[in-house]
Amino acid sequence: MLDRIITDAAYRGHNAPPEHRFCVYTAGQKRRAAVEPVIGHLKDDHRMGRHYLAHAAGDAINAVLAAAGYYFRRLIAWLRLLLLTILIARMTWPQTKYV
């Protein structure tokens, strides 16, 4: 269950029932500064700004898919760095000859 959300500066509130209330962070708050660039990248690089899925369910599906694409891109970059580190370490290992 969600207990907090981080939103765009244009967010104007929600009408969730009291048992589903959560903490909302918007522009000008500490956590917002770290999230703003990510939202921009999602809109530009992962097509979160424009989609053709219908209704609220389509909006939710698009947000989840954009986030998945963002994290897959980060995972691939991390794996690339790990592979490079392993290859460099392997090339610097001393060569031993067995007689």
Give a yes or no: residue 51 inside a domain: yes
CB-count burial class (<10 Å; 0-12, 13-18, 19+) for 69: middle
pTM over 0.85, yes/no:
no
2 — pLDDT class (breaks 50, 70, 90): low
List, for residues 31-83, the tens digit of each pLDDT value.
656 667 777 777 777 666 666 777 878 878 877 888 888 889 899 999 999 99
Residue 99 lies in a domain: no
Examine residue 97 and state whether it is found in any structural domain, yes or no.
no
How many domains, the chain?
1
CA distance 20 to 2: 8
Q: Is residue 30 part of a domain?
A: yes
Structural domain range at position 73: 4-92
Examine residue 98 and state whether it is found in any structural domain, yes or no: no
Is residue 82, in this structure, part of any structural domain at all?
yes
